[in-house]
Amino acid sequence: MITIKDLGFAYGEKPVLKNITMNLQEGRIYGLLGENGVGKTTLLTLLCGLKKPMAGSIETDGHKPFDRDPSFLSDQYYLSDEVAAINLKAIDYAETFGKFWDGFDMNKFTEVMEVLENDPQQKMNHMSFGQLKKTYIAFALACNTKYLFMDEPTNGLDIPSKAQFRKAVTKYTREDSVILISTHQVRDLENIIDPIIILDRQDVLLNATLEEISEKLYFDYTTDKVDGALYSEMIPGGNIQVSLNNSGTESKVNIEALFNTVHQHKELIKGIFNK
């Protein structure tokens, strides 16, 4: 488990994260959402030990990430949004750098590359951006780490590749893993991320499972106007409207509508989910 308590970080005089407190549980794929500049990438780099907290603490199974203990590093992987076009075949890259992770599985790497329809014999500096991204995704999954942090992994992927990515993540990660995926493309990941974390500037607006969200908010897909709706948006065939769930009726959570609802009613949402 990852325990984050009163976490703070700033770039010079500009605070990015302040008093961030939450726990990340095993066996979950968390979706990390937020507007540009709220600190999503900063949080990921703090969690994997690339940056040191300026306030508060992070503990991952008793380890402080910035201590960078080798056994800790071997059980985590951070996939950056920026990927390097190295002058190596993908298979050679995997063989060379996979040695740094105790659980790395070359067979899994080639299998995931096949799922992603990517050629492991192709040189990485000859790949398109999408092919390069898929190579690093395959490598990340092949490391078999308990902790996996991914920053905008579907950027640069075409529509079929996004479906392949969802399949790979659900099939090739450990049951006890903690996966945190930062994304702006919520539709790419809507069927696999749960719980949902929404960051604001120096704040956590929401950290809840889809079940918890459905218990407290009702997502109505109708042509009729809902009185007192917190959020309403026209969609083909009608509207999607979000209201307080006063009746206990279940509904399918629409993450884009959820995100917009949270940002329009920040204090209300925090009050509802922090009770």
Among 184, 207, 230, residue at a domain's last position: 207
Among 207, 231, 249, residue at a domain's last position: 207
Question: 69 and 141: one domain?
Answer: yes
User: pLDDT grade, residue 9 (50/70/90)?
Assistant: very high
Q: Tell me, what's the pLDDT at 37?
A: 85
- Across 142-155, b (16+ Cβ under 10 Å) vs e yields bbbbbbbbbbbbbb
Question: 157 and 30: one domain?
Answer: yes
Mean pLDDT, the chain, integer: 93
| Rounded distance between C-alpha atoms, residue 271 and residue 251, angstroms | 21
Q: What's the predicted TM-score (pTM) here?
A: 0.92
Question: 107 and 43: one domain?
Answer: yes
Question: 193 and 67: one domain?
Answer: yes
Which are the contacts of 42, defined by CB distance < 8 A and separation ≥ 6?
9, 16, 17, 51
User: pLDDT grade, residue 86 (50/70/90)?
Assistant: very high
Question: How many structural domains compose the chain?
Answer: 2
3-state secondary structure of 136: helix
Question: 14 and 64: one domain?
Answer: yes
**Residue 38, domain CATH:** 3.40.50.300
The region that residue 99 occupies, defined by phi over 0 for left and psi between -120 and 50 for alpha, beta otherwise, is alpha
Question: 142 and 25: one domain?
Answer: yes
Which are the contacts of 125, defined by CB distance < 8 A and separation ≥ 6?
85, 86, 87
Q: Tell me, what's the pLDDT at 275?
A: 64
Question: 171 and 216: one domain?
Answer: no
User: pLDDT grade, residue 180 (50/70/90)?
Assistant: very high
User: 29, 26, 28, 21: which is closest to 3 by C-alpha?
Assistant: 21
Question: 149 and 247: one domain?
Answer: no
Task: Look at 64-78, 153-167, 212-226 and tell me which has the smallest mean pLDDT.
Answer: 212-226
| Rounded distance between C-alpha atoms, residue 92 and residue 123, angstroms | 9
Question: 192 and 233: one domain?
Answer: no
Question: 82 and 214: one domain?
Answer: no
Rounded mean pLDDT of 96-123?
96
Among 207, 232, 252, residue at a domain's last position: 207
Question: 222 and 96: one domain?
Answer: no
Question: 113 and 187: one domain?
Answer: yes
Range of the domain at 239: 209-273
Which are the contacts of 259, defined by CB distance < 8 A and separation ≥ 6?
33, 186, 198
User: pLDDT grade, residue 48 (50/70/90)?
Assistant: very high
Rounded mean pLDDT of 161-177?
94
Structure token pair of residue 134: 């898929």
Rounded mean pLDDT of 241-257?
92
